[in-house]
Amino acid sequence: MTFSSPGYTYEWADAENNCLRRNDPDGGFAYIPACEDNGDYAWFLSSGAEAAPYVASPEPEAEPETTSEKVDRLLEDYGLSREEMRAALDAKDGE
């Protein structure tokens, strides 16, 4: 396969460098397995192009705590359970 289109950029698509992502100037892309039998990969090797290193996607942000989870965490910080807190509040109301 012959490629004459200039402007491709490459980046490794995985940490093991088993797959390239080829980006074209129009915003398109293709994944190219890094095996010698693959014509696209052979062309990449012969082109002298270099691939940018793999960059892992950031970890997704944790879901925000619910109010109930916040209360449980705060009570746990003080060594209390919900039941102990309720008992303490009920005792105070009974005074």
Q: What is the pLDDT along the chain (95 residues), one digit of tens a residue?
A: 334 456 899 999 999 999 999 999 999 999 999 998 999 999 999 988 999 999 998 888 888 999 999 999 999 999 988 898 888 888 877 76
**Length of the chain in terms of residues written:** 95
Task: Return all residues near 32 (Cβ < 8 A) that are at least 6 apart.
Answer: 19, 20, 21, 22, 38, 40, 41, 44
What's residue 88's pLDDT? 84
The secondary structure of 57-68, three-state, reads CCCCCCCCCCHH
Choose among 49, 52, 61, 44: nearest CA to 3. 44
Q: 34 φ, ψ to 5°? A: -90, 75
What residues form DSSP beta bridges with 23?
9, 29
What's residue 45's pLDDT? 92
What's residue 93's pLDDT? 73
